[in-house]
Chain A
Amino acid sequence: MDLRQLLLTLMLVWANDSFSTSEGQSNDGTCSKTRILIPLSPHPVLLERPHFIKCRSPELETFSCHWTNRDFHNLTTPGNIQLLYMRRNDEEWKDCPDYVTAGENSCYFNTSYTSIWITYCVKLINKDEVFDEKCFSVDEIVQPDPPVGLNWTLLNISLTGIHADIQVRWEPPPSADVLKGWITLEYELQYKEVNKTKWRELEPMLTTAVPLYSLKLGRDYEIRVRSRQRASEKFGEFSETLYVSLSSISPVLYVEVVSELEFPLLLVVIFGTFGVIVVMALILFSKHQRLKMLILPPVPAPKIKGIDPNLLKKGKLDEVNSILACHDSYKAQLYNDDSWVEFIELDIDDPDEKADGLDTDRLLGDNHLKSHNCLGVKDDDSGRASCCEPDIPETDFSASDICDGTSDIDRSKKISEKEEDLLCLDQNDNDESLASPDDPTAQKPNINIQSEDNQSKPSSADSIESPSPPVHTQLSNQSSVANIDFYAQVSDVTPAGSVVLSPGQTNKTRRTQCEAYTEPAIQCQPRFTMDNAYFCEADVKKCITATSHDAAEPHVQEQNFIEDVYFTTESLTTTAENPGPAAEASSTEMPVPDYTSIHIVHSPQGLVLNATALPVPDKEFVISCGYVSTDQLNKIMP
């Protein structure tokens, strides 16, 4: 009760403030308000004085006022509340013309009592006690009745089958004379889904029909309309709610799913597009050059066949001109040369490697290499080094005196070929040399190289294997072809049975070949066919003994020491050591075969041929004389 009293007191105070005016302004005939003071008491009597609730005109033709009346009569003097009104032009207050029509505690003013655009003042009194007073103009209190006749029609359904458009119509309140234009109403429509709480509003409109767009199928909607006088602020009451049932129209089956996916689908589309744009930008920036090439391909430069565009870049105009001036063939040659040169340039620069395959170099030593024009040429890009091939014997031997025949088989074979050519020539020389066997050094060089070799050989005591100049001291002072030193002849057979080898007596072989084998023929009867250049050892013995060997022995021996012996039987390159004095006797007695079988190799320095085993040749052996293979030798020897 105390709270209620406090609230009432506050309300009365507020009402007093809103209606209070100065006393001096009540003289001009307007409604005046008297200030009402309410004493505050500890237990204030809750006086809810009658006051106007509202005065309202629905159609601008009539109006009515309503007031409150609560338990007042019980507290104060009993009486009826009167409403007095006065218009601006009137002079006195008039009583309410109709207390009934508008209901209880109301006063109704019909059209005859209603004047528009005229200020009215009404007051509530009870006898002389004024409870409330109010002044207004009728055109200011217009609150129309609610519209009637709401209905809706379906306009269309969207293609997706999700949304629909409807048209809502209504009628103005029948009380309002809008046809003649006495009152102009504007309407406000509100709608919402059935299960929602918030109404959606449309802008006030002057028409009585409005379309509603994008209503969802499968849902139910509520629609209500209210009206107000144009240019006024207060709306009338809402109309009855119109129920729009769109659920009766069955949506497409996928509508629910699609509607649920609308939002994420939109996001996906947006982000997908953004991603595609980013990827395209990355591709553009990364493949900028390639795309540029694709879109704007470079103009192909004129290409002349056979010309290296690098030449143009380097500015070698001479070469370019030469190329251009010549025909294609020339161009090819030049181009090939250039490429060949270029190719050469890429080769390794070590000249020693080139000569690795040559054993001669190893034998000769580095100094020989340097003097060798061929090998000494540095392997540069000029290509001159490649024109020098160590395999070419001519070049080798012509180039230097040291290009001796090596122990290389190939070389020896070639040299042997040479030897045969020179056999006949040497023969004459040999004959001459035989006459003067004392001059071992006086050798008539058939070949310059050989003479050089012969001269150098005696000076060098090192045991080197090479086709040493054949110094046939026994037979001739000149060893015909130095290369023929591949052949070794048995110069002597020791009593122990070992054979002393000496450098091949080529003159002997030649003689046999040339059939000018006169001297040996004198002394020994050739019991062997002459078809073979090689002798059996037995046969050789006989021939050798006939030959003069005494004088040549020391030389031979000397030279045996010096000279190398080369055996072609097994391609063993060894240095034969002169057995020594034992060889002297044997060497003189025995003919000198070119080939001698080797059956024992004592050491790298010595080679001993066991002749004792040999003198027991089988017939087989004899028949196949000339060469005793190691197999045969193994049979013979223990």
Chain B
Amino acid sequence: MAGSQDMFDAIVMADERFHGEGYQEGYEEGSSLGIIEGRQHGTLHGAKIGSEIGCYQGFAFAWRGLLHSCATEKDSKKLKVLESLIGMIQKFPYDDPTYDKLHEDLDRIRGKFKQLCSLLNVQPDFKISAEGSGLSF
């Protein structure tokens, strides 16, 4: 009696069993694909941020060299903002993507860079994207 019940069980429950196994396989494959995709996305996004900040840093170092010799009061104000930007960039934790104030600090760096451009009377028009200049009609 018990034996025949097991046999029917295997047939009756087959649908559900295959469904379960299929789900499990799919879930595992999806997880590993997801990790790969996530890593790619993170690498790209991280590179973008790094590139942007690197751009600001290069800009700041160049201007620091140019302004170093000048001694007017206006120039010392510009230098102060410049040093503040360089300080922010150097303090930024590049090796910790889980830093909770990451976006806040990034926004502060962007704001300080804009302020610096305004003081230096320079238009910030850097093409940081990989696609190059966009098309316009």
Does B bind A? Answer: no
